[in-house]
Amino acid sequence: MTETRDLVKGNEAVAMGAIDAGCLYYFGYPITPQSDIPEYLSYHLPKVGGEFVQAESEVAAINMLMGAASTGIRAMTSSSSPGISLMQEGISYIAGSEIPTVIVNMSRSGPGLGGIAPSQGDYFQAVKGGGHGDYHLLVLAPNSVQELYDLTILAFELAEKYRNPVMILGDAMIGQMKEPLLREPPGEIHEYPKEWALTGAKGRPQRVLKSLYLKDGELTAHNWKLHQKYETMKESEIRFEELMTEDADLILVAFGSAARISRTSVMMAREAGMRVGLFRPITLFPFPEPQLTAMAKAGKRFFVVELNTGQMLEDVKISAQGNQVDFFGKPPGALPTPEEIFEEIKKIYPES
Amino acid sequence: MSEKKIFSRPKTLKDAPFHFCPGCHHGIAHRMVAEAIDKYSLREKTIGVASVGCSVFLYDYFDVDVIEAPHGRAAAVATGVKRARKDKIVFSYQGDGDLASIGIAETVHTANRGENITIIFINNTVYGMTGGQLAPTTLLGQKTTTSPYGRDFMQDGYPIRMTEILATLEGTAFAARVAFTTPKNINMAKKAIEKAFQFQKEEMGFTFVEILSACPTNWGLNSIDSMKRVEEEMIPYFPLGIFKERKAADVL
Ligand SMILES: Cc1ncc(C[n+]2csc(CCOP(=O)(O)OP(=O)(O)O)c2C)c(N)n1
Ligand code: SF4
Ligand SMILES: [Mg+2]
């Protein structure tokens, strides 16, 4: 049996994952570094009976997505940081109206127009809210081309399972690099019941998708219901990867492209005889807090590496429950090298 | 004694009293849209898009599936719905703040793409829901809560004529402006709304009906004077009529 792996760009892997997940509609507005996604889908969606729409703006795109997805059909959008900022009101409505959608942010650097270099400056926006109100996205942080493909398929699944928007948070590096991809479509697509989908009130009562609740106590109840959903995600959907954490004294914590670089640094440390490991959150929300807390209780120290000046750091600190957490961050510009991170490891590696 | 029922509730409207202020034209517009949907037996395949304004509770009155769009984005939401479900009839119902101010980009591009949807546009020259502030359609000299000295074109420009603008776009199949001021005008309004839904059924492209509407509450007028204001002040600036009527589906 031969498995053929094609050399594929990260952004294309997202687009392929979307097609293989049964996504039929894409709405978006061009922005670097993710334009390969709309370009690929504009070519391939019509071939599978779907449609690609180039929206007049990201504001329009997210609202078109809301409309299409409200009918129970799989649909998505993608953009990069400034475009994702524009979508925030729509994302909040989608979360409030509980419409399954997939939103990809191949983030670039900010604030403002910033630049097109890789950055993880959108962690807070993705994980802590972004739009108004008390809601959460389910946030997936792939770190390879293969994972971009696999997690895109998973994103559609999770969106429907929870009736919640799912965000894939990548960056300019993940989206634009080429790696071998094993494209294995999931076969049968799991269908969740869609007794909420707008298909016309034929032989059934009217259905309404809305986020306005003005009657006494309604909005409170709605918010608690959403909260309960997020709690269920925390129980069931935490995903992460560990590398040599078992015997480690020091554990690097990094996601996405920062985790790729950190991995090499961990190997360098191991070669130098240091017991260093890597913990990579794959879901940023729900955050693998219980796993980190357990390790903290077992006496592990954490060293957070991010392509920003310290965002996920806050969540690791909460998880560490008072244990020491060191940090190495780089704002957009030059990527940190594995050697640089290794030097930092040497400085903080616990003497004993 | 024989009685003829001349006034009955359209099937598409629920048996619920309107929450609108006395003399508000939203209620008449709701009824007329519902009647048009009934006329072509479209209720079971219609999906409505509610906007943010006094008509946000569309779903409390229309017995059809409804999605509530963010302020100004109803046309984009309707685009998404229609693209995904081409066999459905999709309409949005939007105020002038919603459609002509914050949502003008979505409106123009939806028309320009020729999306096969219907927009019902309620022009009442104010932001009704938020307390009567200046709208892009506020008439020159009109005092509102944010134009206390009257609309001055040096400051706020001229009132915008959406129907005329949209009529210039190739994607627009039907664009009309109507009012409820006289029996003749009411009849014309009814015909225009019906035509819009008929066109959508026939996949002719984007259809748009602007309704000049009274907002007695924010105009500080009673129902009768409000109707007079529509007739005497609004119609001269916003002329009634059909501004675009495509003869056949897109042949470009
Ligand atoms: C993004 C955003 N900005 C402002 C508002 C507040 N707002 C609610 S309704 C409205 C104006 C409604 O006026 P119009 O569209 O003319 O409808 P009407 O009430 O007159 O029928 C505004 C500004 C909002 N809900 N969302
Ligand atoms: S405020 Fe104006 S538009 Fe709103 S319901 Fe009252 S009369 Fe109608
Ligand atoms: Mg208004």
The answer to whether residue A342 is domain-embedded is: yes
In this predicted structure, the answer to whether residue A190 has a pLDDT above a threshold of 90 is no
Residue A207 contacts B where some CB pair is shorter than 8 Å? yes
Identify the residue among B65, B169, B201 best suited for mutation to test binding to A, counting A beta carbons within 10 A and taking the highest. B65
Tokens 């990527």 locate to A335
| A303: containing domain | 240-348
CA distance B229 to B92: 26
Mutation target vs A (from B13, B56, B57, B81; most A CBs, 10 A cutoff):
B81
Beta carbons of A210 and B66 less than 8 Å apart: yes
Burial of B211 (0-12, 13-18, 19+ CB in 10 A): buried
Same domain, A130 and A36: yes
From A236, A263, A284, give the residue that closes a domain.
Answer: A236
- The verdict on B80 touching A (C-beta cutoff 8 Å) is yes
Using a CB-CB cut-off of 8 Å, the residues of chain A touching B77 are 63-64, 66-67, 70
Record: contact B85-A73, CB cut-off 8 A? yes
Q: Which ligand is nearest to the CA of B98?
A: 1
Determine what percent of chain B is predicted with pLDDT higher than 90: 94
3-state SS, residue A140: strand
Q: Using alpha carbons, list the distances in angstroms from residue A351 to A224, A249, A250, A266.
A: 47, 10, 11, 17
CB contact under 8 A, A201 and B73: no
Pair A182, A106 in one domain: yes
DSSP chain B: ----------TTB-S----SPTT-SHHHHHHHHHHHHHHTT-GGGEEEEE-SSTTTTHHHHB-SEEEEPPTT-HHHHHHHHHHH-TTSEEEEEEEHIIIIIITHHHHHHHHHTT-S-EEEEEE-SEETTTTSEE-TTPPBT--BTTBTT-B-HHHH-PPP-HHHHHHTSTTEEEEEEEESSSHHHHHHHHHHHHHHHHHHHTT--EEEEEEE---HHHHT--HHHHHHHIIIIIHHHS--EEEEE-SSS---
Q: Are residues A257 and A115 in the same domain?
A: no
Domain finish residue from A236, A271, A304: A236
Residues A258 and A228 in one domain: no
- Looking at residue B1, its pLDDT comes to 46
Q: Do A200 and B73 touch (CB under 8 A)?
A: no
Which residues have a beta carbon within 5 Å of ligand 3, which is an ion? B 95-96, 124, 128
Same domain for A217 and A268: no
Closest ligand 2 atom, CA of B95? 3
CB of B121 closer than 8 Å to CB of B96: yes
Give a yes or no: residue A29 inside a domain: yes
CA distance B117 to chain A (A): 13
Note whether residue A174 is domain-resident: yes
The confidence band for B8, taking pLDDT boundaries of 50, 70 and 90, is: confident
Domain boundary among A236, A264, A290: A236
A334 and A226 together in one domain: no
Residue B64's pLDDT is: 98
Evaluate whether residue A250 is within a structural domain: yes
- Nearest atom in ligand 1 to the alpha carbon of residue B55 is 21
As for how many domains chain A has, the answer is: 2
- CATH number of the domain to which A226 belongs: 3.40.50.970
Q: Is residue A241's pLDDT more than 50?
A: yes
What is the pLDDT of chain A when averaged over all its residues? Answer: 96
Query: Taking 50 as the threshold, does the pLDDT of residue B196 lie above it?
Result: yes
- Ligand 2 atom, smallest distance to B124 CA: 3
What is the per-residue pLDDT across B89-117, written as a single tens digit (0 to 9) for each?
Answer: 999 999 999 999 999 999 999 999 999 99
Q: Which amino acid is at A225?
A: K
Mean pLDDT, rounded, for B119-129:
98
* A1 located within any domain: no
Cβ pair B81:A207 closer than 8 A: no
For the segment A15-43, what is each residue's pLDDT rounded down to a tens digit? 999 999 999 999 999 999 999 999 999 99
Contact A175, A33 (CB under 8 A): yes
pLDDT in tens, B128-142: 999 999 999 999 999
pLDDT of A251 > 80? The answer is yes
Question: Which protein residues touch ligand 2 with a CB less than 6 Å away?
Answer: B 20-21, 24, 26, 54, 124, 128-129, 215-218
- Which pLDDT belongs to residue A333? 83
Q: What is the pTM of this model?
A: 0.97
Do A216 and A104 belong to one domain? yes
CB contact under 8 A, B73 and A206: no
Per-chain mean pLDDT for chain B: 96
- A151 and A293 inside one domain: no
User: Going by C-beta distance under 8 Å and a sequence separation of 6 or more, which residues neighbour residue B136?
Assistant: B96, B97, B100, B101, B104, B159, B160
Q: Give pLDDT tens digits for A262-316.
A: 999 999 999 999 999 999 999 999 999 999 999 999 999 999 999 999 999 999 9
Report whether pLDDT(A3) > 80. no
pLDDT recorded at residue A189: 81
Residue A1: pLDDT band with limits 50, 70, 90: very low
Residue of B nearest to A204 (CA): B44
Say if residue A251 is in the same domain as residue A231.
Answer: no
> What local confidence, expressed as pLDDT, does residue B70 receive?
98
Distance (angstroms) between ligand 3 centre and the Cα of B122 equals 6
In A199-275, which ranges are E strands? 208-209, 240-243, 250-253
B78 contacts A210? CB cut-off 8 A: no
Q: Topology of domain B26-134+161-247, per CATH? A: Rossmann fold (3.40.50)
A325-347 confidence digits (pLDDT tens): 999 999 988 899 999 999 999 99
Do A98 and A135 lie in a common domain?
yes
Within 8 A of B49 by CB-CB distance, chain A residues are 67
Instruction: Determine the pLDDT at residue B6.
Output: 60
Residues in chain A: 352
Backbone φ, ψ for residue B183 (5° rounding): -55, -40
pLDDT score for B250 = 59
Q: Are residues A267 and A196 in the same domain?
A: no
Phi-psi domain of A130 (left: phi exceeds 0; alpha: psi -120 through 50; beta: other): left
Chain B residues inside the 8 Å CB shell of A60: 73, 76, 79, 105-106, 109
Percent of chain A having pLDDT more than 70?
A: 99
Task: Mark whether A185 and A223 lie in a shared domain.
Answer: yes
Choose among B117, B109, B217, B234: nearest CA to B165: B109
